[in-house]
Structure 1
Amino acid sequence: METPTSTLRRAAMALTAAVAAVPLAGGAVPSASAAPFAALASANALAADPGDSSKFSKLNAQIEKLDKAYGGDLAKLKDAQYAAKQALDKSRVLQSDLNEARGLVAQMAASQYMMNGQDPTVSIMASDNPSELLSNVTLVSHLAQNKAAKVEQIQSLVSQQDQARRQAQQKISALQKEIKDLLAEKNRIRALVKKYKPESPSVGMGGVTPRMLKVKNTLDLEMGPFPTIGCVRSTGDPQDHGTGHACDFMVTTGGQMATGSAQSLGDRTAAYAIAHASALGIKYIIWRQRIYDLRSPGWRSMENRGGVTANHYDHVHVSVF
């Protein structure tokens, strides 16, 4: 046997489906009382996600890659990204309001259906057993008193949500154009990035020779940035560091053994220095307890000096003539 609650739920489900089918394009609204239902049908038509969120997520991933490849923060692109996000957020909020209104109208429509379109108070007075209707009517009265304004806003919400989604799509299109324009300038931008790429933090630059300075800048441009580059020093066993003829290109910090990408950076730096030694005036390179002296080419193992830094496992040493 059905209870008033189950009857209300069944009616709500039936009317929700019926309301969604109300035609708006080219069809007349049956009556003034059906206006909220017609607005609700329009809301249902707008509910489907046209793929804006997915498209925006893909564009965000593309922006991250461009940031890395194009030299850091792309302020103009980020502004377009921000505008698209704001428009999408507004569209989502309005859609949430529509969903709330949809549920309210379905409840009230179901209650009206159960009362055969009559005023709830009249139905109670005419009923042989008014108490059976009381729980449902109390709900209807509460909704009518506290949420009626929300029902009246449905058509406005439909219009606002449609406008917000159109604006979001326009902002996404603008973002796509910004990305397309950047990709079209790929070669020019990459040349700028290479020319003005981030410089490594450097210490001990006072007293470095012009040749060593050129080598330091060239390696930093081609291979860097490095965690730090250290050049002139007089402590320990400075050798060429003491005269400004050497720099250490650190690939890790804190005396940590280079592995993975840090070791690869050291390998590439040493290889580049060897390949361009003649043009740059490089005398020798030390890396991973080995030395490559251009006066007697070829890698040769070195004695164990007792530590990661002393054995050059965390930096590439480059000396010039």
Structure 2
Amino acid sequence: MLTAPRRVLTLLVTVLLLVTTFGDAASAEPTPGADEDGGQNLTVRQALDKATAEYNDAKGRLDKSVADQAAIGDQMAKAQTRLGELQASAGAIANAAYRGNRVSLTNVILGADDPDDMLHNMVTVEYMLQQENKQLREIAETQRQLEQQRKDIDAAVANQQAQLKIMETNKKTAEDALRKAGGGADVSSGAPSGGKVTTNAVARNSDGSYPKESCSGDDPTTTGCQSPRTTNMYNEARKAGFTHYTSCYRSGGGGDHPLGKACDFSANASTFVNARATGADKTYGDNLAAWALANAKNLGIKYVIWYKRIWQPSSGWKSYGGDGTPAGDHYNHVHISMQ
């Protein structure tokens, strides 16, 4: 039979064991944590984030340059047409002068019957000379514009070639980072696609890149902060019907959450579930990921992670190296990172 002190000791040990057991169970948290990127080290995450951001900016500059080139081409076509008209008109004037049909000041004076006629004819000749001079100046200016436009086209092409090199370099860097983290294989077959564009384009710099942003606004999902583009993305997702539980800002760890540039959209309506999404929840996640892809350029989305896949604009859907948990493998939520 146990004595009172031994019974007390046994009771304390039992309580401690229960606390430990429940504590371990509670630690299996379905909520994405600071290391939700599946054990990737900070250097790999930073390389991925930096490469993808630089790729997006280079792509923006390329798109802007291509649009500028097209606009310059249209201007050149109009200038070339106008130059042809001016040259034809000038040729007709020169031909008339060669044949002796051109009105001269001497002919006006000698052919005038009275002073009034002479004065009128002199004014007419002066007007014709002014028109000819104006036409010649317009020819010269049009030729100058065409030469400048040719230089602008050459500069646009050189810029496009430079941006393509930057894009290719950053594509390779991002893919290398994914492989180091245990992912990077092509998994485009069966991946979410077909989302509808429901958004307008966010502001860009004059060269087509995205303006730099900080964690300057309130996060509607936590007590933290958000960048303006992240808030816009969150609001646009809500407008598009993606209203399940969402958490954005998170302090600590690497990645974009502490910068206010990422959101985790739960597949479940009310919370993060510690299991793979199935059924309607899986469909919800697929639809959200597809919508994010379709609106990525307009919103400034850097990458999307869902169901052990990661989508980047440089290479599409690739496998994602998680940590074996529903949260770490992103089976229970869609992660969207912003530029």
Q: Tell whether the structures are fold-level matches, with TM greater than 0.5.
A: no
Query: Relative CO higher for 1 or 2, CA cutoff 8 Å, sep ≥ 6?
Result: 2
Larger helix proportion of the pair: 1
Which of the two has higher C-alpha Rg?
1
Give the TM-score band, short-chain normalised.
0.3 to 0.5
Q: What is the TM-score with the length of structure 1 in the denominator? A: 0.35
